[in-house]
Amino acid sequence: MKTYIVGNWKLNFTVGEASIYLHKLLKTLPNYRDIEVVVAPSTIALQPLSLQVDRHKIKLGAQNAFYRDYGAFTGETSFSQLRGIADYVIVGHSERRYIFGENDKMIQKKVAAAIRNKIMPILCIGETESERAFGETTDVIRDQLIGGLTDVADDDLSKVIIAYEPVWAISSTKAAKLATPDEIAEVVKLIRKTLADIYGEKKSENVPILFGGSVGSANAGAYLTIPGVNGLLIGGASLILSEFVDIIDTAKRVRS
């Protein structure tokens, strides 16, 4: 299985800035067979970057899309419009859930729409600080995972990536707020078991599971050596070229 390094640029970079960053990243990176590098710029930058990117080195991901393929939905971008432009799409990110009010039903439709349009969804799941404090982590992870995959058939499970992002650990610089390897390993094991219960053990083993939560070059190696973790979903650190390249280099060393 490949190791996935995904940079979520969120609401950062103009189109020009994104283009310059991608140009520098392409010049820096060699071709990796076993590392899949993905960057997810803002929607407005996706199309011009798709004309610039070398997909042997880097794939493009969308940060969001709407589940209907066409219609009267002012301001939205559909998965069908992103087809051929984005290879991946981030679905169910905590910021979409808690800032924009997306629920499991909407996320389930987005996962299905992504697969329908041949874009691989990266389904994000994760508990809040209060949910963890009240011992609800298991229920939250199961509910979000099952909810997001409701419309995914057995044969389509291989077209999905799962990203565990504990909400309480995102954008944290405090050691006390960082997820420990043991905490991550426990949830990754739960995700794998839940997938096995639904789809069978053999199919569940082929689903990549990523971790995201204040990932940087200093802790990427530790996260990548956790059993069952197949890659990283990176926010702020992906905006700094040297930091992002260091994380990719770390992934290569871990794979070696």
Catalytic residue annotation: 93, 165
**Within 10 A of 141 (CB to CB), how many other CB atoms are there?**
23
Using alpha carbons, select from 71, 67, 164, 154 the residue that is nearest to residue 116: 67
Using DSSP, how many helices (H) and how many strands (E) does the chain show?
11, 8
Q: What angle do CA 202, 110, 38 make, to 5 degrees?
A: 70
Both tokens of 45, joined, read: 């930058």
Both tokens of 171, joined, read: 């954008």
Residue 8: strand pairing partners: 40
Q: Give the whole-angstrom CA distance, residue 132 versus residue 129.
A: 5
Alpha carbon 175 to its chain centroid, in Å, reads: 23
> Would you give the end-to-end CA distance of the chain in angstroms?
13
Could you give the count of Cα atoms lying within 13 Å of 194 in the half-sphere of its Cβ?
A: 22
Phi, psi of 204 (to 5 degrees): -65, -30
